[in-house]
């Protein structure tokens, strides 16, 4: 049956609204930002070359991120430890960067001996099989004061304080220790690594150690596996908050909570290497649709962070990413009849 009102001298004709989906790609490089306003690449804002109208959906389709993310950084608050020997307390700080277990054990050994004024009394080594760090001293008993909160002078004031986190709360966590104070032991029966002998490639000499502390847990020096991209006003990810001791106290012993629309995309980070990691659509699932469509987008503000809220310390490493915008463009319907010649191959 005809839906037009034929009883009217001027029948109403329904208007068919036809739209075509217009795809626009925008590439963004970290060096595109206004360096004078956004000194840190983890947070910056850009103005689009032209405003995008009637945006129906957005997504991140490509991201090339550094393959050399620092695991340890002053702004991550995981470069310091405190220890006490002969009644005197010391605080040492390791160099920012990425460490192998052997490099970190040597760094700690040298820093502890230099701070305490001893020649080679401290010896920090690791068990390759058990994946645990050991702190030893050749003469005196000592304490590892990992129950004390250490202060950091942060270069980025927006970094959250990590001390109350259950994980990644400081350098001792990465070494396999808990948030406790440890006293050295003199029972050397557990200080045996038979797999090192007789052909050892590890020059760790444990024969002279008289006092030691072993980490109760395995070490974790690998760093983060992913980071989150926030796009101000256009986030769609829902995210649970990591367990936090301070939130447990503030919410009647219930630290289980989350946030709606906390991030726009989740970007995987490849295992540490010297090359950049190109994460394309196969690894990214973050299509965001808007109903009704967004009338106008002229500028975008980005933030790169980890799950626990720490802003990514990119150092001087460059990165880039590509955003896809799908806009609805009103058009009159056009029907084309196209003949393809037999010799033409599409």
Is residue 170's pLDDT more than 70?
yes
Q: pLDDT per residue over 103-125, tens digit each?
A: 999 999 999 999 998 778 999 99
One-character DSSP codes across 242-265: PPBHHHHHHTTT----EEEEEESE
E-state strands within the chain: 18-29, 43-65, 80-85, 88-93, 122-127, 132-137, 142-145, 181-183, 211-214, 226-231, 237-240, 258-263, 265-268, 277-280, 288-305, 320-331
How far is Cα of residue 249 from the mean position of the Cα atoms in its chain? 26
* pLDDT (0 to 100) of residue 9: 63
* pLDDT (0 to 100) of residue 202: 46
Domain co-membership, 311 together with 256? yes
Determine, yes or no, domain membership for 340.
no
* pLDDT (0 to 100) of residue 276: 53
Domain co-membership, 95 together with 177? yes
Is residue 274's pLDDT more than 50?
yes
* pLDDT (average), residues 290-303: 94
What is the overall mean pLDDT for the chain?
A: 85
* pLDDT (0 to 100) of residue 5: 56
- Integer Cα distance of 122 and 209 in angstroms: 9
Domain co-membership, 160 together with 42? no
Determine, yes or no, domain membership for 3.
no
* pLDDT (0 to 100) of residue 194: 76
**Domains held by the chain: number:** 2
* pLDDT (average), residues 83-98: 95
Cis bond upstream, residue 292 (ω within 30): yes
Domain co-membership, 201 together with 270? no
Determine, yes or no, domain membership for 2.
no
* pLDDT (average), residues 303-325: 93
Q: pLDDT per residue over 322-337, tens digit each?
A: 999 999 987 766 677 7
Determine, yes or no, domain membership for 38.
yes
Determine, yes or no, domain membership for 7.
no
Domain co-membership, 119 together with 235? no
Domain co-membership, 81 together with 203? yes
For the chain, helix (H) and strand (E) counts, in that order, are: 3, 16
Neighbours of 327 (CB within 10 A): 19
Determine, yes or no, domain membership for 82.
yes
Determine, yes or no, domain membership for 117.
yes
Is residue 346's pLDDT more than 60?
no
Residue 105 or 1, more confident: 105
* pLDDT (average), residues 131-139: 94
- Integer Cα distance of 133 and 124 in angstroms: 7
* pLDDT (0 to 100) of residue 189: 76
The CATH number of whichever domain residue 324 belongs to comes to 2.60.120
Reported as half-sphere exposure (CB side, CA atoms, 13 A), residue 173 has a value of 20
Last residue of a domain, one of 159, 180, 214: 214
Residue 172 to residues 65, 70, 245: CA-CA distances in angstroms? 28, 17, 17
* pLDDT (average), residues 117-142: 91
Domain co-membership, 61 together with 178? no
Domain co-membership, 270 together with 283? yes
Least confident stretch, 112-116, 207-211, 246-250, 269-273: 246-250
Is residue 164's pLDDT more than 50?
yes
Residue 109's φ and ψ, nearest 5 degrees, are: -60, -50
pTM of the model: 0.82
Residue 69's φ and ψ, nearest 5 degrees, are: -65, 135
Domain co-membership, 80 together with 207? yes
Residue 100 to residues 4, 83, 289, 293: CA-CA distances in angstroms? 77, 22, 43, 49
* pLDDT (average), residues 310-321: 92
- Integer Cα distance of 113 and 252 in angstroms: 45
Domain co-membership, 164 together with 287? no
Domain co-membership, 108 together with 53? no
How far is Cα of residue 322 from the mean position of the Cα atoms in its chain? 19
Cis bond upstream, residue 198 (ω within 30): yes
Is residue 306's pLDDT more than 80?
yes
Helices (H), 36-143: 101-116
Residue 100 or 279, more confident: 100
Determine, yes or no, domain membership for 12.
no
Is residue 251's pLDDT more than 50?
no
Last residue of a domain, one of 214, 244, 272: 214
Domain co-membership, 100 together with 203? yes
Last residue of a domain, one of 214, 246, 281: 214
* pLDDT (average), residues 227-244: 91
* Structural domain of 50: 18-69+227-331
């Amino acid at each position: 049956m005809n839906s037009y009102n034929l009883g009217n001298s001027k029948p109403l004709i329904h208007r068919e609204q036809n739209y075509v989906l217009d795809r626009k790609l925008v590439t963004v490089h970290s060096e595109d930002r206004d360096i004078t306003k956004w000194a840190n690449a983890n947070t910056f804002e850009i103005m689009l070359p032209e405003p995008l109208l009637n945006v129906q959906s957005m997504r991140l389709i490509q991201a090339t991120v550094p393959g050399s993310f620092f695991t340890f950084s002053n702004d991550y608050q995981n470069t310091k430890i405190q220890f006490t020997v002969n009644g005197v307390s010391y605080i040492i700080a390791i160099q920012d960067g990425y460490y192998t277990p052997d490099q970190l054990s040597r760094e700690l050994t040298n820093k502890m001996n230099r701070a305490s004024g001893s020649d080679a009394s401290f010896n920090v080594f690791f068990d390759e099989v058990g994946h645990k760090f050991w702190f030893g001293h050749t003469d005196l008993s000592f304490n590892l004061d990992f129950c004390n909160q250490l202060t950091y002078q942060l270069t980025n004031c927006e970094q959250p304080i990590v001390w109350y986190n259950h994980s990644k709360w400081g350098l001792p966590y990465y070494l396999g220790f808990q948030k406790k104070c440890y006293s050295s032991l003199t029972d050397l029966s557990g200080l045996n690594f038979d797999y090192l002998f007789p052909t050892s490639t590890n020059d760790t000499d444990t024969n002279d150690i008289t006092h030691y502390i072993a980490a109760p847990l395995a070490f974790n020096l690998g760093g983060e596996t992913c980071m989150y991209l926030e796009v101000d006003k256009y986030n769609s990810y829902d995210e649970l908050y990591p367990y936090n001791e301070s939130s447990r106290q503030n919410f009647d012993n219930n630290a289980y909570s989350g946030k709606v629309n906390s991030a726009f995309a989740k970007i995987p980070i490849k295992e540490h290497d010297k090359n950049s990691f190109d994460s394309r659509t196969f690894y990214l699932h973050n299509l965001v649709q808007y109903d009704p469509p967004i009338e106008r987008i002229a500028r975008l503000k980005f933030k790169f962070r980890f799950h626990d809220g720490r802003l990514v310390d990119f150092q001087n490493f460059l990165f880039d990413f590509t955003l896809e915008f799908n806009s609805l463009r009103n058009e009159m319907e056009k029907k084309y009849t196209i003949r393809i010649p037999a010799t033409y191959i599409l």
